Amino acid sequence: MNILAIGAHPDDIEFSVGGTLLRYKKNGHKIFIALTTSGNIGSSIHSTREEIAKIREAEMLEAAKFYDADVTFLRNDDELLHNDPQTRLSTLDAMRRADPDVIFTHSPVDNSPDHHTTSEIVSDIILSLQAKLLPVNNKICNKKISLFFWEPAAGVGFLPEVYVDIGGEIETKKAALRCHVSQNEWMGKFMERSLTDAVEIVGAFRGYQCDRMYAEAFTAFRIHGYMPDFKLLP
């Protein structure tokens, strides 16, 4: 299968769905990653948006090696993402390029602006994957795609309906997250714990809920024609 993870910022994938992607890779599936922004305001150290975007994209490419993933950068401005026609079309093009069987993205209950907008865009355009008259480069997708939402940071406002056991992947997940050196520096100014500490805590909590050591939690998108197939989860 082709598995696509669409995040708002370069570290969102590793933080939220990294363990699940590692399981897919282990099972022989192809991983695609698309990012709606390059996280170009995510620094209090670097002086320009162009500088931090270049750094964060390089960190993402290093992390993507853990999944042998194909990465697409859409390069919208961080914290200024809008659900407008241009952004919808570029996101649709990235989705078609992956020709996915399964898509993962942010939850609609995530109140971080770029996260929420990314979730909204993906949900809004999934029915357009088969629309041949839209002006995008990549061909239409005829698959019945399953779309799953990962949880917001710390699980705020999120009630899971399905879990993926990542007990065998937790250390590799943390290693991939450590590739985002600039964000460990940046987020350290706001959080008492490191990013890797946070995924350890949340992963253990979700694992406790489903009687595993560690887990990642998801909800599913539902609309006529695109109902979730939970058997496609690893």
- Neighbouring residues of 39: CB distance < 8 A, sequence distance ≥ 6: 9, 10, 11, 52, 53, 56, 78, 183
- Are 154 and 191 in contact, with CB atoms under 8 Å apart? no
Strand, coil or helix: 181: helix
Q: Give me the pLDDT at residue 57, please.
A: 95
When divided into structural domains, the chain yields a total of 1
**Assigned domain for 232 exists:** no
Per-residue pLDDT of the chain (234 residues; tens, 9 = 90+): 999 999 999 999 999 999 999 999 999 999 999 999 988 886 667 678 888 899 999 999 999 999 999 999 999 998 899 999 999 999 999 999 999 999 999 999 999 999 999 999 999 999 899 888 888 888 889 898 999 999 999 999 999 999 999 999 999 999 999 999 988 777 766 777 889 999 999 999 999 999 999 999 999 999 988 899 999 999
CB atoms within 10 A of CB 88: 19
Could you write out the DSSP letters of every residue in 18-40? HHHHHHHHHTT-EEEEEEEE--T
**Assigned domain for 231 exists:** no
Q: Give me the pLDDT at residue 205, please.
A: 97
- Are 103 and 4 in contact, with CB atoms under 8 Å apart? yes
**Assigned domain for 228 exists:** no
- Model pTM? 0.96
Q: Give me the pLDDT at residue 40, please.
A: 82
**Assigned domain for 234 exists:** no
CA separation for the pair 160, 109 (Å, rounded): 12
Q: Give me the pLDDT at residue 22, please.
A: 98
Domain membership of residue 173 as a residue range: 2-222
**Assigned domain for 230 exists:** no
Return the CATH number at 37. Answer: 3.40.50.10320
**Assigned domain for 93 exists:** yes
